[in-house]
Structure 1
Amino acid sequence: MVSADAGNIVQFDNVGLRYGSGAETLSDLSFSLAAGAFYFLTGPSGAGKSSLLRLIYLAQRPSRGVIRMFGEDVVTLPRQRMPGFRRRIGVVFQDFRLVPHLSAYENIALPLRVNGVAEADIDQPVREMLEWVGLSGRANAKPPTLSGGEQQRVAIARAVIGRPEILVADEPTGNVDPEMAERLLYLFEALNKLGTTILVATHDLHLVPRVPSAQLMRLDKGYIADPTGTLRYPPRRG
């Protein structure tokens, strides 16, 4: 078993992911994410970005290899401990996954309530989040009445309100205009400065230079690139 580096919040060692009996979607991934760092994950469509994120937010177990998060092996983590781990991870999904019968306000408040925050301590942070993402006037609106960009902003506010230890975002600026994209990146940077590790998957390379402190990871054909951008293709098994 690979020993955890105290400076890393995520550590992959020879991780592979296969759906069914087909070829591996991800192969021989070995990398770490430093606690408190900011990363962009890029790569062409079909490279495996969403699959990699699923492994990190614990929606999928790998087919092989070791994944350590918060210093523990999550591949063998007992199922009853998973909810506690997931509460330490903020996720912005590509398809938003808002609760349709709850208002924007209630969707954003949901993580605080799940974590047992007292009702008296919920209103102010939720109102601040709504203002930050430009939705103060839509607090009572339910997701079906919101545009795609508005739903995206609610999803982002919900993901960051609990100040997770790591935030994983799948194309978080894909449904907003450039001005709002800048504002959301600024929100991610502010959260990062408070100590949250940020991993943003995006196909838009124009976003990368807007966060000077960010590191770039690249996926192609299920393999991860080295820092020079040269892809490593280990020998295929079998």
Structure 2
Amino acid sequence: MHELMEPIVQFDRVGLRYGTQTETLSDVGFALSPGGFYFLTGPSGAGKTSLLRLLYLAQRPTRGSLKLFGHDVVNAPRSALPALRRRIGVVFQDFRLIPQLSARDNVALPLRIAGVPEDELAGPVEEMLAWVGLADRAAARPATLSGGEQQRVAIARAVIARPDLLVADEPTGNVDPEMAHRLLHLFESLNRLGTTVLIATHDLHLLGRVPDARMMRLERGRLSDPTGALRFPPIRASA
């Protein structure tokens, strides 16, 4: 049914160049269906992070067409972008937690921005912290958390408002395999609620754990398998 709906993301011959350098992305074209689950892979330096920056509106293309939620973001006025950004959850590779805020307040931030009343915040925030295994670290500030704990706070913050689009850059890179699988299950649960998920990862073990996920691969700024036709069979548990 999702295949018949308008894409939530549409790239058409998108190019991205920083200054006078060679293009980082060249003629990138793909569409993400509402409610789809996607993996973005490729070697270091292929342009994955740059593509994600376009998706969460930190950058605009140098050329080509880019639509998010049906809106042309290449030509949109800057005043129109904040409303679109609020529909996107982002897990950054460098976490970007606010150092002055506790883990609890970092996770609550998207709900506060969305105008959720203070007396309705505690339940969802505590539940999310418990899900990522940080119920006992809710009052801790980022500087006192390990890299893996900071990563989990960043993920909890990205998903708590149930965004229409979740973009995650190496979201399991700082956690052990057991927690990585738990976090992937969280992404799957969010996806089942209707969120489109795109995860950039080097972790090939993750790919087969979402049987219906589709993969796109970047190499030297160009996208292969843009239709997402390649599917991964489930990974069988070892004996």
TM-score range, shorter chain: over 0.9
Secondary structure of 1:41's counterpart equals strand
**Distance (Å, rounded) in 1 between the aligned partners of 2:120 and 2:39:** 33
Structure 1 residue 228 displacement after superposition: 6.9
Aligned to 1:97: 96
Report if aligned partners of 1:15, 1:29 keep a CA contact under 8 Å in 2.
yes
Map 1:219-230 onto structure 2 (within 5 A).
Answer: 219-226=218-225
Unaligned runs of 5+ in 2: 231-239
Map 1:150-169 onto structure 2 (within 5 A).
Answer: 150-169=149-168
Aligned to 2:198: 199
Aligned to 2:235: none
Report if aligned partners of 2:95, 2:150 keep a CA contact under 8 Å in 1.
yes
**Distance (Å, rounded) in 2 between the aligned partners of 1:71 and 1:82:** 13
Aligned to 2:237: none
**Equivalent residue letter for 2:125:** V
Q: Deviations over 1:118-175 (max 9, x none)?
A: 1111000000000000000000000000000000000000000000000000000000
Aligned to 1:171: 170
Aligned to 1:32: 31
Unaligned runs of 5+ in 1: 230-238
**Equivalent residue letter for 1:212:** P
Map 1:209-228 onto structure 2 (within 5 A).
Answer: 209-226=208-225
**Equivalent residue letter for 2:13:** N
Report if aligned partners of 2:6, 2:70 keep a CA contact under 8 Å in 1.
no
Map 1:49-128 onto structure 2 (within 5 A).
Answer: 49-128=48-127
**Equivalent residue letter for 1:87:** R
**Equivalent residue letter for 1:186:** H
Report if aligned partners of 1:6, 1:71 keep a CA contact under 8 Å in 2.
no
**Distance (Å, rounded) in 2 between the aligned partners of 1:37 and 1:228:** 12
**Equivalent residue letter for 2:135:** S
**Distance (Å, rounded) in 2 between the aligned partners of 1:33 and 1:102:** 34
> Percent of aligned pairs with the same residue?
68
**Backbone CA RMSD of aligned residues:** 1.1
Question: How many matched pairs?
Answer: 225
**Equivalent residue letter for 2:31:** S
Q: Deviations over 1:24-60 (max 9, x none)?
A: 0000011101110000000000000000000000000
**Distance (Å, rounded) in 2 between the aligned partners of 1:214 and 1:66:** 25
Q: Deviations over 1:44-94 (max 9, x none)?
A: 000000000000000000000000010110111111111111000000000
Report if aligned partners of 2:9, 2:68 keep a CA contact under 8 Å in 1.
yes
Q: Under a length normalisation based on structure 2, what TM-score does the superposition of the two structures give?
A: 0.92
Report if aligned partners of 1:47, 1:220 keep a CA contact under 8 Å in 2.
yes
Q: Under a length normalisation based on structure 1, what TM-score does the superposition of the two structures give?
A: 0.93
Structure 1 residue 7 displacement after superposition: 2.8
Aligned to 1:19: 18
